[in-house]
Structure 1
Amino acid sequence: MNLNSSTNSSGKAQHPELSRGLLLILAISSGLSVANLYYNQPLLADMAQTFHASAAQIGSISTLTQLGYALGLFLFVPLGDIKEKKILIVILLGVVTLSLLSVGISENLTMLGAASFAVGTTTVVPQIIVPLAAQLARPDQQGRIVGIVMSGLFFGILLARTISGIIGSLWGWRIMYYIAAALMFSLALTLWAFLPQTGSTSRLSYRQTLHSLWEYTTKLPLLREASLMGGLLFGTFSVFWTTLAFFLKQPPYYYGTEIAGLFGLIGVAGASFAPVAGRLADKKGPRIVVGIAAAVTLVAYGFLWLFGKHLWGLILGVILLDLGVQGAQISNQARVYALVPEAKSRLNTVYMVTYFIGGSLGSFLGMHAWSLWQWKGVCLVGSSLILLSLIIWGRGLYNQRKGNMERCCN
């Protein structure tokens, strides 16, 4: 199958302009919807008390949520290229509303795990919104536009922890999920009213669309590089955030759920860097920005390992970790979207499935590292994942320069 032969040639001219108001709606919607994945992280210790579970057992809730998200990305995000995105988004928001309610009424750990998996599977709206924003943007502004929408997404990731930590400490973790369900229902109504109709960008069948994911993966080495780097860096992000609530409950901190959630506010400093990373990717090239961002993430873990038991060291580590991971995310997505412009949803599927498989692996490894070796084990696992991502980046840079030299010689 020719990857480009089945795309809709009507092009972007038929699409509405991306106004500032619509861009704001897309950014806010990304943040509100992605937050569903992260409400549980500051609440894991409280959930463990409710169900009398160990740290390793309750850590599976975060892992299942992220694995569900990876499955949802694979099943639903490719539909963004062949179906009307507005209808797809509203339907998914309706289903995730029911999934969140199921978490809130869970009576045992098995039901909680199944409901959390369902929340992850249906919380894929942000990864339909991001390609939609890129589709509506001018080609020379895609990095900036994606950066703005991703800023909303990152704020949602970080503030989700803060909000859930506070609400969990005041009224219990179940109330957080009832509130989240109400937010998703309200968001569905809002987006039905304001999102434009954009049509499809491909005439492939659903089966052909899923098959094309494999073709893109095998034929585009840059897609493989960006996806693997993204997965490893998000894995190190998950290693930290999944274990933070347990670390803060121990000496020298003795902090509760609400303080663990407040650390999300510290990460906002890193999230605010996302538009800057997008502009740098447009001007300097995304590969360079990705490498710098990965190096910043490694420095963050150095602070967390050496100075994590000092509040200033923990705070600085959180800021650098969020800055590095999010800068890499923006730049990776910018170079992925540029590969085949008419297949943004499918390219995003490959990238984000790998991204959240890495995240679920990070959650799993982080909780087991904590159970076996406490904080030093957590930092060792996180640092190892970053080093692997830098090896992949270095190999990609070498191959790029080798290819440039061969073309010059020919």
Structure 2
Amino acid sequence: MKKSKLSSFGQSRICPICESNVGSAATKCLVCGAELASDDIQSNAEIPASSVKVRKSSVNVPVTVIIGAITFMVLGGLALLLVSSGNNPFLESTATITPSATSVPTFTQSPTKIPTKLPTSTSLPPIVHKVIEGDNCILIAVTYDVSVQSVLQLNGFTQSCPLLVGQEVLVPVPTATPAPTITSTMVPLALTQAARPVHVVSAGESLSSIAAYFGVSFKSMAEVNGKLPPDYAISIGESLTIPIDMPLPTSGPTPTETSLPPYPAPNLLNPSDGQAISYVEQAVSLQWTGIANLREDEVYLVTVEDVTSGKAKRIQDSTITTRYVLNVDMKPSESVPHVFRWSVVTARQVGVSSEGLPLYEPAGITSEVRTFTWSGIGINITETSNED
């Protein structure tokens, strides 16, 4: 058995460089890569047995080195790959101090007061009126309390206003005039003329009704705004100063004068509401029923206004009878009918102006406001004077 082992072992050779076993026909050492020559290679058969044992023990050293080298190369490659990717395993990771969020004290915000929006006027669609027999633009305007021009403009009509029975006419919705409001009551001693409010006259108002609304005397109202008797004329759209620093005297016991109860509103008779006066008429007679026997200082105040002409034609006159004649001075010259409004109120004289004219204030309730139409013949008449 020993003989066969030696025979088998004798077929191998030893590398002279690394002393590794190589094949008998090998020309290159597989361990160190040295070129092998036939004379450089020593056969295992020539080596003593004691030497063979030594060589066997030395073969394990180079293999361990090779394995370690391979392991080092693999680990080095992995380390290089990690370094190139930004993760360096050889550097000690420095702990990054992340600042913690400091809690900021929060304050509970008080609810914001939202201002209340004032109601805005919304344009309403026009009213559709169906024409019946006897209708014209003036009567339609009077019926809906709007101006004739607004009806003409909305429908694209000419001044002649041709209408057909059954025709639909658009009528603008009348704009309601808001009543004047006083937001705060001021102490009378603190009031000055600079604090006096201004009121814009709307349709159907008179100087007396405005004075009564604001609680000031009619006399003060007339003097501040320069209104003179007998008519105390005001116009729609006119701005009047309200002397609220001159209020009515506080009620109290007055031994010299006893306040009389207000008279009821006069009852208007002629012309009827909406009546059309012929163009051939040169005067219009206004009539109403008397409310009582007037005192010496009491009269009827009659207010007449040409709505079509605007504030250019408006009168306010006094009479002690229940009839007032509107003369030709108020008659329109053109053939287009004009709308007139008129009303009556009982008044009482309260003094005399600097011009010597009587000053009146209402002594009762104003009558209803009636309308009528009146037209001319379409010829402008100019006055001529004959020179001697």
TM-score of the aligned structures, taking structure 1 as reference length: 0.21
More helix by share: 1
Q: Considering Cα pairs closer than 8 Å and 6+ residues apart, tell me whether 1 or 2 has the greater RCO.
A: 1
Tell me which protein shows more strand as a share of its residues. 2
Larger radius of gyration: 2
